Structure 1
Amino acid sequence: MHLPSSSPRHPSVRRTLVCAVHIAIGLLATAATAADNGMPQPARIVTDDVVYDHSQVEWSEAYLQWVATFARGNSPVSDTTGALCAAKQEGDVWFLATSDGTGPVERSCTIPNGKTLFVPLATTVERSGNKEPVCESMARLASGSLTHVSQLTMTIDGVAVDNMPSHRIPTGDCFALGARQFPPSRAKTAVADGWYVMLAPLSAGPHTIVVNARYDSTPLSTTYHLDVR
């Protein structure tokens, strides 16, 4: 069994809409069966381009801005237990951080009911530093860095997410990486590229999300044991 997914960044056609209806009916039937059996309901991938008044590109930027508010070595990316899962999270969308590549990571987190989850799989960021940003060339560099990434996989409660390449979200233009820092920096000097999956609020109870990738020869593995309540 695989979780269906589709790109939110392409025009819909009639055949796609028909397929979407059948998928939705199948998911509803599966959810009803799971509820009857007392099992967690299956996760639903959000493919809408705009979620809570922000595009998925903007959510990818917001994730990186969130990470940038932490000191290196003491951030959700380097967290090995899940102690920082709720740190500086706010609003209707919560982020689940990737790992720093130093080894397989397992995190245990409590997630409030009703939170949409934005899950990065692998990301690259290019910064101009003190130089005047040349966003187009930086975007090419960020895109080129993704050629080092392979073997992207994601499972949610043991169910694999299909068609991982469709979940790529390049920012394209520059954005302010330090917008959430103190004092905030509004300078648009960063470009990013990568793969992300947005999940509708999970049903109450335990869930397990596993993300794997490789950056050249370095394996990246993050397991989230979530308790939604």
Structure 2
Amino acid sequence: MHLGRSIALLIGASVLVSACSTTSASPSKDTSSAPARAETTSALPAESSPGVRAKLSAADLQGRWWTWAASSVNDSNPVSDQDGRLCAQGQTAGIWFLAGTFGETVTRSCTVPTAVPVAFPLVNQIGETGDCTAFMATARGSANLDGRSLKPERYEATAVHISAVDGNPITQNGGRFRTRACGLWVQLEPLAPGSHTLSIRGSSGSFAVSVDYKLQVSAG
């Protein structure tokens, strides 16, 4: 995860993540009642067929992930998690998020519920449109699930709304904010019950994310 000038940032993977460096700029609270308008589109998987779930849009996915990342203070924040004990922190129904780091290299062990889609960034940022343009110019990343390479989707600057709590490491202050989000993202269909390994690598400029997940998908 990485933060732009308009909002105090950290990020990545997940995650988890999605990975961030910190800046000191203050966010502006959103005073508009108009819904966020994505500047990019999110298509269904190329191999989509009956029974395959539609992916979240670029705006919905990123807005929800950043809200999740900003819903906990630093000591209990999943982006700060060193071993996986915070994987379930702040998760909501319908999708399971994984986080990157604030630049550290970590290994996490997590239990993931069955029948729930999984999503995470390889590297990502929030800020102004110019911040995203510069960030995405050098954004690179890879993800590997059980020895299989995953193809990330590339989201350029997208208008999103983020809700945050006071003391979180993303916006620092609580409230509802309107900003732009961008990054490299993966959305997965629900994982089969059992054990899985996931490696996430991402970078932009001098910032880099490296997370290895050991995932246990519960059967119930």
Q: TM-score, normalised by structure 2?
A: 0.68
SS of the residue 1:66 aligns to: helix
The one of 118, 128, 131 aligned to 1:141 = 131
**Letter of the 1:114 counterpart:** A
Alignment of 1:119-134 (within 5 A): 119-126=120-127
The question of whether the paired residues in 1 share the 8 Å contact of 2:132 and 2:157 is answered with no
For 1:215, give the aligned amino acid: S
SS of alignment partner, residue 219 of structure 1: strand
Q: Tell me which residue corresponds to 1:98.
A: 100
Q: TM-score when scaled to structure 1?
A: 0.65
Q: 2:158 aligns with which of 149, 172, 176?
A: 172
Larger radius of gyration: 1
| Map 1:1-229 → 2, pairs under 5 A | 9=42, 20=47, 48-49=54-55, 51=56, 55-72=57-74, 74-102=76-104, 104-126=105-127, 138-150=128-140, 152-162=141-151, 164=152, 167-170=153-156, 172-173=158-159, 175-177=160-162, 179-181=163-165, 185-188=175-178, 190-229=179-218
Segments of 5+ residues of structure 2 without an aligned counterpart are 1-39, 167-172
C-alpha contact (below 8 Å) 1:170/1:194 kept by paired residues? yes
- Mean CA deviation greater in 203-212 or 74-83: 74-83
- In structure 1, stretches of 5+ residues that fail to align are 1-6, 25-43, 127-137
Q: Would you say the 8 A contact 1:60–1:169 is kept in 2? A: no
CA contact (8 A) 2:69 2:79 kept: yes
Question: Offset at 1:66?
Answer: 0.8
**Compared CA separation, residues 203 and 8, structure 1 to 2 (3 A):** farther
The AA in structure 2 aligned to 1:106 is T
Deviation by residue 1:179-209 (Cα, 9 ceiling, x = unmatched) = 2537962342x21111111111000000011
CA distance in 2, matches of 1:170, 1:228: 32
Q: 1 CA distance for matches of 2:41 and 2:139?
A: 22
Equivalent position SS for 2:78: coil
Q: Percent identity?
A: 25
Structure 1 runs of 4+ aligned residues shifted over 4 Å read none
Greater per-residue strand proportion: 2
What is the identity, as a one-letter code, of the residue corresponding to 1:89?
Q
Label 1:140 to 1:100 Cα distance change in 2 as closer, same or farther (>3 A): same
